[in-house]
Structures are given as C-alpha cells and as structure tokens.
Amino acid sequence: MKKKAKDKVRVGIVGSKFAADFHADSYRRNPKVEIAAVAAIDNLEEFSRKWSVPAAYSDYNEMLRKEELDLVSVCVPNFLHRDVAVAAARAGRHVMCEKPLATTAEHAREIVETCRKEGVKLFYGEDWVFAPALRRTVEIIREGGVGQVFYVKARECHSGSHSPFAKSKQSCGGGSLIHLAIHPVGWILHLLGEEGENPVVEVIGRCNGGAGENYVHKDNGGEDFALGIMKFANGQHAFVEGNYITVGGMDDRVEIYGAQGNIKVDLTFGSCLSVYSRPGYAYAIEKTDNTVGWTRPAVDEFHNLGYVDELARAVDCVLAGEQPAYSCGGRLGLACVEIISAMYRSSESGCAVKGRWG
C-alpha cells in the first residue's frame, strides 16, 4: 500500500528569543506547518504562550527524543549552532540553521558532514536570498538588465546588539563581520557564485580589534567595524561591510554595477510608508531608537527581509522530498563561514588571503 504523503510539517524550535520569534511568526503564516514543540533555557513559558506551542522543554535533547518532528529550527546563540544542529541531524530531523552556520569553519563542516551522513536536509538561513526587493534585483540581472556585472557593494549595519552572546567574541565567533556582514557575503555568493561554479579566490579583511580598539562598543570582545573584499574566479569583485556604529536603525543596502546599468537597493529604509509624528509611536524598523519626526516604518518587516519565504521554501522541500538549492543550503552556509574566517586572518596579517571558497 502506498504511503500517504504528509500534508503538514511538524516543526520544533530550539531557542526562544529574537530569531525564534521571527521563525515562529513565519511558520504561523504557513498552513503547511504545525509548530509542535519548543526547547529553551529561558523565556520558555512566555514564548510558548505567545505562539500557542503545545509542548515545551528546557532540554532540546529531550524534545528530540520525545517529539515526532520533521524539521528543527536552530535559533540559539551562534556558539551553540553546531551542538544543536548535529544533535537534530543524529535524531533524524531535517535542520534549519540560522546564520552563521557555526562560529568556526571546522564546526560548520561538521554540521554539513553530519547532515550528509545521517541523510537529512540542511537549510541555511540567509534571508536576503528571499527578500522580495533582492529577488527582483536578481531577476533584472539574470534578464541582462544591467549587462555583465563587474562589482557589487553590500552592507548590513546598525548600532549594536544588546545580547551578551553577540558581544562576546567567543560565543559570537567574532564581531560585526560574522554577525552582520555575513548577510551580504551569503547573498553575493548567491548572485555571483553560480552555484559554486564561480568561487571566491581571494579575500581582504579589515576590522577593529575589539574591546578598547573599537570605535564605540568598548565592552564588545569582537569588532564593531569591519570591511571585506572578495575577488571571484571570473574577475568580479564585491565589497561588504558590517558595523555597530550606525545609528538611526538597521541599514541594509546593496549596489550593483554592470556594463550597461546599475541597481541600488535600500532594503530596510525603502518603505513605501512615510510618517511624521510629534509624540512618536511604538515601532518603525529594527534598531531605531525613536520614532519622533519623519520616519519610514516597515510595513511587514519579516516578509520584506525574506524570513517568511525562506522558511516556506524549507517546508516545501521537506514535503516534496527535495534537497535545498545552493542558495539556501549547507554549502552556502559553510562557504560564508570559510570566507569570514579568511577575512579575519587577512585583517590580522594585513595581507590578502588566497583560496577557493564557494
């Protein structure tokens, strides 16, 4: 007798803070998903109540043993990504891991290899790939709208994270380079890397030294300002930036320069809504410290940044038994960590680092 195809994916979320919140929001919009369980060491009761999650665990290993899950969202601090992803894979669960895939290239490779060995799918959470404005950007480029692309410049910047795990170099894996600039790195690999066929062959990195050497965040172990340059095998170049010194809200921008045109994308401040307020109001965009005067509030931030469609694609792959594409799979996540690691080595040595990544 032919086995009936599943019509819903049972999801377990590990974590209960910011990333877990937008995963839950995105899953709740999807009729193909049942959020079956959550595991976290704090904020568990509040999170479970907010998202009506029926089962809550203080130990994710217990959740993996007791719950029949199809997909596990890894939404814990960076240094725990390896442990949770590997445990989920060994329990036979497909894995959706938030960025970065891990804090080191070695740990990222372990995740990729474990998922391969256990026969489970590994999804990497690069939301920029699914952001509507950037998807349209890729369509225009693929259509030939700007001719051959020579150079891409991209940044994610804001005023700094309040999480103690993001402030710690050890638990974050670094500072603003791995925490913020990894988004531009991943999206540029998606745009120019041609599914790994056009690898990055040289990188340059420049970072503040962390702590007392930082511009603003002297209590951060990692850098609060970072730049990187990537050279691709076919000669294209890309410039990425991630910093914690940008006030006024999270600033995500992309510029593409081609032989016959260019494209400029304002991902976070490009709202179609303008508001002038004397008293201010509750929320405009992430990391905005006030809403007085003229503001450009996001209309649907989680959708515009790509989270909703990113997680929907993972769900569809699980239901259809399909492997994730390069743009949302473990290979991309591993390449990002390898490139960021090479940029850190370049910053320390003052020299370009050559290799093949992607």
Task: Name the token pair of 196.
Answer: 């790994």
> What confidence score (pLDDT) does residue 162 get?
86
For residue 161, CA distances in Å to 98, 151, 217 come to 16, 30, 10
Give me the torsion for CA of 132, 136, 137, 139, rounded to 10°: 140
Total-model pTM: 0.96
Superfamily of domain covering 129-307+337-357:
Dihydrodipicolinate Reductase; domain 2 (3.30.360.10)
pLDDT in tens, 73-123: 999 999 999 999 999 999 999 999 999 999 999 999 999 999 999 999 999
- pLDDT, averaged per 10 consecutive residues of the chain (358 residues), comes to 66 98 98 98 97 98 98 98 98 98 98 98 98 98 98 98 94 98 98 95 98 98 98 98 97 98 97 97 95 96 97 98 97 98 98 98
Our CA angle for 33, 37, 40, nearest 5°, is 130
As a whole number of angstroms, the distance between CA 144 and CA 138 comes to 10
> What confidence score (pLDDT) does residue 3 get?
41
CATH 3.30.360.10 domain locations along the chain:
129-307+337-357
CATH 3.40.50.720 domain locations along the chain:
9-126
Just give the CATH number of 9-126: 3.40.50.720
HSE-CB of 323 using CA atoms within 13 angstroms: 8
> What confidence score (pLDDT) does residue 131 get?
98
b (16+ CB within 10 A) / e for 42-75: eebeebbeebebeebbeebeebbeebebbbbbbb
pLDDT in tens, 159-191: 999 899 999 999 999 999 999 999 999 999 999
